[in-house]
Amino acid sequence: MIRRALTFIPTIVGVLILTFVISHVIPADPARLWAGGVKARPEIIELMREKYHLNLPIHEQLVLYIRDVFTGNWRESPMTKRPVLVDLAEYFPATAELAIVAGLIQIALGIPLGLLAALKRDTPVDHLIRVLALIGVSAPAFWLAIALQWIFYYSLGLLPATSRGIPPSQTYTGLYIFDSLLTGDWNALVINLRHIALPSLTLAFTGLGIIARVVRNTTLDVLSSEFMDFAEARGLSGAKFYRHVVKNSSIPIVTIAGLEFGMLLSGAIVIETVFSWPGIGLYAVNAINSLDYPAIMGSTLLISLIFIAVNFIVDIAYAIIDPRVRL
C-alpha cells in the first residue's frame, strides 16, 4: 500500500507543475494578473512581483511555488483580502457535503436501477432507464438546476431554492447535516436536509444514469460468464448465487463511481451559483467575475488534489474487493 501511495507522488508533482505553468508561464505578466488585471495599480503589481519572487528564473520560481503549496502559502485573495487557503477552508465543507450527498443518492438509486434494467433486459423498464441515462448526461446541469427551482420552489413551494440552511448549535466537521446528527439538533437537521435536496438531486441526476448503465452492463456480463454457469450447475441459488454476481461486478462499478466523483466536483462548481450554495464553486465563480486570480488557481488546485485522493481510495478499494489486484 505504501508502494502504491508512492506512485501518486509523481502525479501530484505533475499536477503542481501544470498549475504552475498555468499561473506563472502562460500569462504575459503574472504579477498584473494576480493583482487584479488591467485595473491593478502599478505599486501593487510591483509588490506582487517582489512578494512572489517573480523576478527569479523560472525553475527557481517553480521550486518556491511547490514549497509554498506544501507550507500552506496559497497566496492572498485580492477579493476577500485573506489568504486563499483560509477562504477555501471556510467554503470547502459545503462542497464536500453537497458532493457526498449527491454521490450517495447516485449509488442508492443507480445500483438498484441498473440491476432492475439488467433483470428486465430489453423491456420498457430497461429502455426507460437508458433514456434517463442519456438525458442525465445531456442536460446542462445549470439549466436543470433552474428548472428544478422553478418546479419545486416557485410552482409548488415545497423546497427552498437557495442557501444552505442553518448551522447546528455546534459544528465539528463543518458538514451541517453530519453535525446536526452529532449534536442531536433535529430541527436543524430537517432544515438542512430540505436545503440540500434540490442541489444534491440536480448534481446526482447528471451521473445517476451512467452508474445505472454501468451496473446494468456489468451485471449482464457477469451473468453470462462461464463461472456463473458453473455456479448454477453446482446448484447455487438465491443469496449465494447473487453473491458471485455482486462480487464480480463491483470493480467496474467502483471505477465509474470514482470517475463520477470528479464529475460531481465539476458539476458543483457550475450549480452552486444557481443555488447560492456557499461552496468552492460559488467562491470560484465569484473569483472569476472579480478577476481574483489566486482564488481561481487555489480552487483548481484543491479540487484536483481531492480528485487525486479519491482516485487513490478507488485503487485501494480494488485491492480490497479483488485479491488478484496487488497494491
Partner 1 sequence: MLKKFNRVLLKSNALRSVGSIIYDWRLAFEVIKRSPLTMTGLIIVVGFIVLGAIGPYIAPYNPIEIDFSSIALKRLQPPSLQHPFGTDEYGRDLFSRVLAGARVSLMVSMAVMSIAIPVGLVLGLVAGYYGGVIDEIIMRVTDVFLSFPGLVLAIAFSATLGAGLFSAMLALSIVWWPSYVRVVRAQVLVVREQLFIEAAKAMGVSTRRILFKHILPNSITPLLVLVTLDFGSVILASSALSFIGLGAQPPTPEWGRLVADGRKWFPDKWWYSFFPGLAILITVLGFNILGDGLRDILDPRFRRRLEFREVK
* Residue pointed to by grid coordinates 430489453: 122
Closer by beta carbon to partner 1, 193 or else 316? 316
Residue selected from 66, 100, 132, 146 as contacting partner 1 according to rule CB under 8 A: 146
CA atoms within 13 A on the CB side of 54: 21
Neighbour count for residue 47 (Cβ, 10 Å)? 13
Residue selected from 288, 316, 317, 319 as contacting partner 1 according to rule CB under 8 A: 288
Q: Which of residues 26-55 bind partner 1 (CB under 8 A)?
A: 26-27, 33
- Binding-site size for partner 1 (CB under 8 A) equals 49
C-alpha cell at 181: 446528527
Does residue 88 interact with partner 1 by CB under 8 A? no
| 52 neighbors 31 (Cβ within 8 angstroms) | yes
x/- track of binding to partner 1 for residues 241-280 (CB under 8 A):
---------------------xx-xx--xx--xx------
Does residue 208 interact with partner 1 by CB under 8 A? no
Q: How far, CA to CA in Å, does 167 sit from each of 18, 159, 177, 270?
A: 37, 18, 9, 24
Please tell me the distance from the alpha carbon of residue 299 to that of residue 268, in angstroms, as a whole number: 12
Minimum CB separation of residue 135 from partner 1 in Å reads 7
At 291, give phi and psi (nearest 5°). 50, 40
Closer by beta carbon to partner 1, 183 or else 311? 311
Residue selected from 43, 72, 138, 157 as contacting partner 1 according to rule CB under 8 A: 138
The set of residues, in sequence order, having a beta carbon less than 8 Å from that of 52 and lying 6+ positions away, is: 30, 31, 34, 75
C-alpha cell at 100: 457526498
Residues near partner 1, by CB under 8 A: 10-11, 14-15, 17-19, 22-23, 26-27, 33, 130, 134-135, 137-143, 146-147, 149-150, 154, 262-263, 265-266, 269-270, 273-274, 284-285, 288-289, 293, 296-297, 299-300, 303-304, 307-308, 311
